[in-house]
Chains A and B, each alone.
Chain A
């Protein structure tokens, strides 16, 4: 269709003229009337409308008189996009009468229990009623009754009498989270929100529904009856439990954090949070917090004053050969503390054996040396997302929600190169499941196919579709994991390895690869991380190198640990200095600011543990690290810790390594107890603010570093987080945009630090996919959102989420063992053996054996051979 209007008479296409209450306003094309009016000072009341979800027009509260040229009528402004010359009355008598009517209808069955309702004081329904509602009720009938609050999950309670059926929570579960576990049930005036009997609302995102409920129908256990809104103080901050850097508001009362809410940061989390981000503060309030320093004497830890603790620590550092000092950890710290510790370790002490990642990450050049993408760039409609990493739903909850939105609502193409099904597989355009160790080869094959599309690719699509039709989702999936099938998702055949073989065999897998390659379009973002902890990073590195050859490709890091990207930017990695530079290239910049820089590139965590095992580490500093539980090779961790000399731990909560091995514990203040900034996986820096005083006599991490430096005879030269930032921006070009002014101006969005600095792109690691002989299955070890992490152990609201140790197998492999589901079987690798129950899981490809990384009280690591590219296992009946 061509536009027949003469170009010169067309109005400015970037704005739409709307007359609201007699005043002309400029609206954006396509904008909803309710939003346009609000931006222009004419707030229209609403309950169901939520700017991050599709409009439903359910509550009818936002009715206004609208005249689009055909006479005025009442229309829900949350549904009506603005159009030129629309005339709108938000205050007219007709509008008021309609809105009052709706409010009265909402109230007739709503209980009058505001005084005991958690929402009291911050309730839109209450506010509306005060502002506009009728003085007294004309409704003299008995109100509708439901059983009082019912728990719909471990964390969330539902009071159906208070519910006004706005469809926000149910829409969230469906549209945003994709966990359709709550739903409208029944009809008409009996309609209610509920779960399926015995299937709780066990979503990692359930807390969001509490936040968006416009009344007190949904409440979260950690906050129920704890406080009233008018008692709360709040500050904007950043969630610290993973690397998404979701923006949050932390609310406290009487010096205790009581609630965390998501903030709608447009480039980041859109107001959503994973429950882990939302409820993690509980751990900080836990009884077992480390509230004062401790030292070990005669094998027992004793609480001491700071003086004693520092003395012990400094004694273990003073005069020690820097090459015999090492630091593990640091992702827990804020940026300022990370810089302080980097300066202490590398500049003052002079060691380069510093690593914030515990064998579960990627080398700095992979994270920092490739073109980087923002979340927004990854989520562009018309672009392609290649997921080559962990399941974002498990590891990076808020990112999962953004990616899901991009695919479902904005039409981004998603291609998964993951070793098993993820939370996004059901919406992925293509799911290719490489076996552990082989993702590099698969990525190379995909890139080759994209460069040279196969002209013989047959139009088998429709035949497949016909064939697929009429099968249950489970059937379809089962068949997809059958190598003979050419379904949507494909997985490798159990015998044989290498993609060439499979391609030559002309199997469905090769065809699937062709189709995936053909569907790559628009800018490509690779979401890159470690998908299994029982394979080495090499295959992932090779995949990254291969995928970087795609046109217009950039990378979004999917490393999981809290502020790990801040740690890399601060130089907490071997061979690295602050500001995305290397010892080799950047040392000169630190000549004035630092007492010195290490001469040689140091060990990573595995290297440090090996050195410690060999008796080469006299002093080991743990910056919020728990190697005994958190390093993939449990045996090496044990031996390394045993061989280390003095162990100094800087931590918030007791973990196994700290309690068993630390000689000195320096009690650190938590993320809500010290001020600073956080760097997320995009390189975005945002404020992580203090709202309560530090627990006990614990101190901020940066102060601990500064004090140790002084006692070592070297002043770090700063006395506040702001001063640290000031120094950082002088030694690091990357950090130059990070001025106090910029931070103030972008309270919500944060400051994006662009560029690769001096970091060169990675070289191929040349991982070779080994042939498995004696053992028939490849071990897949993946994280869950809730594993046996220290924080979870101390968070009552979330502990119900923890999974248990079990083996999951594809039905094809399961059938070979010949046991019932739930039977305990033996899993044996070259390294060790474990007994655990077995379950069927169609999401696990044929030939793989999936076990969760650490669960409450159980640990799969005895099986993992960290020195091998992959770990193979054999499964036997007992």
Chain B
């Protein structure tokens, strides 16, 4: 019933090992599942539940709280148009309208060819560059209708590099070399004061003495 590929299962185990409690890996593992499959399947949630020591209902309960996790197939390119206040002031809603027309979908819809899913999103922290959007969480700024069309044309024509399929977020992963790891323990096994805090006393002694 393994959902994760064996390479990803290794990554998953490593992610679990970075947290004092396995459950903390739940959200990172949902991202990993989405990276592997484009969206989060039932099998993925069952395996994540096992890896994190929780029930599948807890995985779904946590996962469905967060917008970025999709529990149904979505397009290879997820286009998020910001319509929050700063973008709205400078044409975000009009841009979204245009996007709907160009792609022929409603907000939240996916094109028939499975290529694009269109969403309107809340502020994506590029407010000074309004109106803006993200494609698979990569920014396009101060977007005009023409820019939008050109962007779609480029993607459709395969003229994109550097834009991973939906699901892949960061292409660089943190890795911690074993010999550099300070050591991660469950809280109940880490009750000792960190050694370097002893310097407080040592220095005091030397000041006094």
Decide whether A and B assemble into one complex. Answer: yes
| Total residues of chain A contacting the partner, CB 8 A | 25
Contact A183 B185 (CB under 8 A): no
How many angstroms between the C-alpha atoms of A194 and B52 in the bound complex?
20
How many angstroms between the C-alpha atoms of A640 and B161 in the bound complex?
83
Contact B61 A185 (CB under 8 A): yes
Contacts of A196 in B (CB 8 A): 42, 45, 55-57, 59-60
Partner of B58, one of A180, A198, A466: A180
Cβ of B175 within 8 Å of any chain A Cβ, yes or no, is no
How many angstroms between the C-alpha atoms of A184 and B66 in the bound complex?
13
CB proximity to A under 8 Å, residues B1-44 = 13-14, 16-17, 22, 42
How many angstroms between the C-alpha atoms of A695 and B14 in the bound complex?
64
Contacts of B61 in A (CB 8 A): 183-185
| Total residues of chain B contacting the partner, CB 8 A | 27
Contact B22 A473 (CB under 8 A): yes
Contact B14 A187 (CB under 8 A): no
Taking chain B's interface residues, is the majority helix, strand, or loop, or is none over half, making it mixed? helix
Contacts of A471 in B (CB 8 A): 13, 16
Contact A183 B16 (CB under 8 A): no
Contact A472 B50 (CB under 8 A): yes
Cβ of B189 within 8 Å of any chain A Cβ, yes or no, is yes
Distance (Å) between the CB of A804 and the closest chain B CB? 21
Cβ of A462 within 8 Å of any chain B Cβ, yes or no, is yes
Contact A472 B51 (CB under 8 A): yes
Cβ of B64 within 8 Å of any chain A Cβ, yes or no, is yes
Given A185-B61, A196-B45, A472-B53 contact (CB < 8 Å) = yes
How many angstroms between the C-alpha atoms of A474 and B48 in the bound complex?
11
Contact B57 A180 (CB under 8 A): yes
Distance (Å) between the CB of A430 and the closest chain B CB? 14
Cβ of B54 within 8 Å of any chain A Cβ, yes or no, is yes
Contacts of B51 in A (CB 8 A): 472-473
Contacts of B189 in A (CB 8 A): 461-462, 465
Taking chain A's interface residues, is the majority helix, strand, or loop, or is none over half, making it mixed? mixed
CB proximity to B under 8 Å, residues A442-498 = 461-462, 465-466, 469-474
Cβ of A195 within 8 Å of any chain B Cβ, yes or no, is yes
Contact A465 B57 (CB under 8 A): no
- Residue of A with least CB distance to B16: A470
How many angstroms between the C-alpha atoms of A471 and B16 in the bound complex?
7
Contacts of A181 in B (CB 8 A): 55, 57
Distance (Å) between the CB of B179 and the closest chain A CB? 14
Distance (Å) between the CB of A649 and the closest chain B CB? 44
How many angstroms between the C-alpha atoms of A92 and B196 in the bound complex?
55
How many angstroms between the C-alpha atoms of A199 and B14 in the bound complex?
28
Distance (Å) between the CB of B15 and the closest chain A CB? 8
Contact A472 B65 (CB under 8 A): no
A182-196: contact bitstring with B at CB < 8 Å (1 yes, 0 no)?
A: 111111000000111
Contact B60 A180 (CB under 8 A): no
Contact A466 B57 (CB under 8 A): no
Given A186-B65, A196-B55, A462-B189, A469-B60 contact (CB < 8 Å) = no
Distance (Å) between the CB of B157 and the closest chain A CB? 37
Contacts of A461 in B (CB 8 A): 189
Contacts of A465 in B (CB 8 A): 185-186, 189
Given A185-B60, A197-B42, A466-B185 contact (CB < 8 Å) = yes
With A196-B59, A469-B16, A469-B184 known, 10 other A-B pairs at CB within 8 A are A181-B57, A183-B60, A184-B61, A186-B64, A187-B64, A199-B56, A472-B13, A472-B16, A473-B52, A473-B53
Top 9 closest A-B pairs, CB basis?
Answer: A470-B17, A183-B61, A473-B53, A196-B56, A196-B57, A472-B51, A183-B57, A180-B55, A470-B16
